[in-house]
Chain A
Amino acid sequence: MIRSINKNFILYLLISIAFVSFSPYLFEDYGIRILNNIFIFIILAVSYNLINGVTGQLSLEPNGFVAIGAYVTALSLLSEDLKWDLFQLEDPAPWVLALSFDIFPALLLSGVVASIVAFILAVPVFRVRGDYLAIVTLGFGFIIKVFAINSPEITNGSIGLNEIPSVLDSYTIGFIAIVVVILILNIIYSKFGRAMKAVRDDEDAASAIGIDTFKIKTLAFVTSAFFEGIGGGMLAVLLTTISPDLFTFFLTFQLLIIIVLGGLGSTSGAIIGSFLVIGGSEWLRFLDGPIDIFGIQTDAHPGTRMVVFSLILIIVMLFAREGIMGKREFSDIFRKKR
């Protein structure tokens, strides 16, 4: 089993590296921007899938951890002078002024802060069985947003932060995405990944066979928070401006659509889902403008895009109940059907 995964794995890895390397020659500026967005969403979706799909614990947290990551990275990258300029509501807190890192340490710090918060959430939540994680994480997302609005000395309140230096090019974003996907696949194809799937399939049986389910659920949750924090930091750099409104439940909802569409529990599915949902909703943008159907000119109806997009989603879910990939990966497709 290990060998067959390796062979396929190297093939897909080479394709991904080639795609990232040649993408600047394949697309124009606008396309590159969307591609960067897709790469970041791949990071977010693949790590969200680890807790939600692989471990099977319904969690609604990504917007909170993405927000934490975005603010930590943004504050690390902004210079002291710029912070004095930006903070209009209240003077920045001293530790906010002192926070200054290069991009890679900043991203790492974002991940670490997000995972520490995740650990603090996990300890009470995973002590009990049931869907409490969904409730707690949903509330957590709102708390983070309220905190961001009401802590002007740290986050500059509802004005948000702008002029974040755009220090990541599309190669770097693409390669970080590849590395994150590899790391998460490494977890899934190890004893830890098997234990996570066991917890999803039957928690009682898992602990009866010697798995510390509390530890496994916490590991999955903290890991996905870590990479969501990093993804959030990259999102801040890509957008160069962030505000509390960016990190609403809609972000979580979008990621949920991505992983359900791709197939809950499938990493390949999360990648496909990111391309379809983020790329697809951009591609359908022409529907919002005036359309020329066989010579009949229609007026511009902003919002048509989302209607069509929803219809497509419904149709896909009707024909592929478990999402496009189900629980399979790319490497399973050419193997004998199980």
Chain B
Amino acid sequence: MSILELKNITKSFGGVTAINDTSFSIEKREIFGLIGPNGAGKTTLFNIITGNYKPCSGTVTLDGKNITNKKNYKIVKDGIARTFQNIRLFSSMSVKENILIGLENSTSYTYLEAMFRLPRYFLQERKISKRADEILEFLELEKYKDEIATSLSYGIQRKVEIARAIATDPKLLLLDEPAAGMNPNETDELAKLLFKIRDHFDITILLIEHDMKFVNHLCDRVMVLDYGKTIFEGLTEDAIKDQEVIKAYLGDFKHA
């Protein structure tokens, strides 16, 4: 059964149609790539899936559940986590505190229990603190855990953002250009890490990326968007040979 299904999604801003009647579905444990030239509507599609934008028409289904018009923080509880194109970590907090924010929804103590420090507070805080350490260890970030998150190098910050998303215990992880600004070495490492995350946490990954080598290595299937329209959906190796895709990226030589 597919974990995420989009049906006939259309989204326009004023007169501009950013997404035009797009449908696709992602299978469980798949790594699915979303590619396309700048302005194709990839990030808009991300924002629709995560509930930041409401689509003008169409439905989004997560694991058989309609999440089309849900608020974004509720969709997180349903099992979708994301990272941002430009890293958005909480700048006043340490790496570990950033992860703890992701773990908020796995605690249930109330405001008054926190205020008066009742036993459930200690019990659950200890539990999520341990869980945060486990996640940090898994991503080999434990030596940075007390550093202020935004003082770290770019690559590490990316990893922290992924760790924070994983902390929400998602079924589906959305990564917006995870390899942007990384050198080939770091990109290879990231690909390895994403395979490791998929296998260990048993999650599905949907990612936007421009680095075709990275996409080719990582993604089982891709969808190519151009001007809000799907121009290709299928296996990654076929996408690179597809005429439409080449035209979208390189232009149409006949008319040039």
Cβ contact within 8 Å between B104 and A191: yes
Chain B hits for A206, CB < 8 A: 90, 101
Q: Which of A207-215, A240-248, A279-287 contacts B (4 or more CB under 8 A)?
A: A207-215
Residue from the list A183, A202, A209, A265 in contact with B76, Cβ < 8 A: A209
- Give Cα A190–Cα B118 distance, bound, in whole angstroms: 12
Number of B residues near A (Cβ < 8 Å) is: 44
Number of A residues near B (Cβ < 8 Å) is: 29
Chain B residues numbered 98-155 whose CB sits less than 8 Å from any CB in chain A = 100-102, 104-105, 107, 109, 111, 114-117, 121-122, 125-126, 128-129, 146-148, 151
Chain B residues numbered 80-109 whose CB sits less than 8 Å from any CB in chain A = 81-82, 84, 88-94, 96-97, 100-102, 104-105, 107, 109
Cβ contact within 8 Å between A192 and B114: yes
A-B interface pairs (CB < 8 A), number: 99
Cβ contact within 8 Å between B115 and A202: no
A145 at the interface (CB under 8 A from B): no
Chain A hits for B76, CB < 8 A: 208-210
B165 at the interface (CB under 8 A from A): yes
Cβ contact within 8 Å between B90 and A201: yes
Scan A182-205; emit 1 where CB is below 8 A from any B CB, else 0. Answer: 010011001110110110111011
- Give Cα A187–Cα B107 distance, bound, in whole angstroms: 15
The residue of chain A having its C-beta at the shortest distance from the C-beta of B47 within the complex is A208
Given A208-B82, A327-B92, the answer on whether A187 and B114 have CB atoms closer than 8 Å is yes
Nearest-Cβ distance from residue A14 to partner chain B, whole angstroms: 17
Cβ contact within 8 Å between A205 and B84: yes
The residue of chain B having its C-beta at the shortest distance from the C-beta of A326 within the complex is B92
- Give Cα A338–Cα B92 distance, bound, in whole angstroms: 11
Chain A hits for B164, CB < 8 A: 209
Residue from the list A191, A201, A212 in contact with B114, Cβ < 8 A: A191
Chain B residues numbered 143-190 whose CB sits less than 8 Å from any CB in chain A = 146-148, 151, 164-165, 168
For the complex of A and B, list the 6 residue pairs with the smallest distance between their C-beta atoms, beginning with the closest: A210-B76, A190-B114, A205-B88, A201-B90, A207-B73, A210-B105
- B interface, CB within 8 angstroms of A: 50, 52, 71-73, 76-77, 81-82, 84, 88-94, 96-97, 100-102, 104-105, 107, 109, 111, 114-117, 121-122, 125-126, 128-129, 146-148, 151, 164-165, 168
- A interface, CB within 8 angstroms of B: 1-2, 183, 186-187, 190-192, 194-195, 197-198, 200-202, 204-213, 219, 265, 327, 338
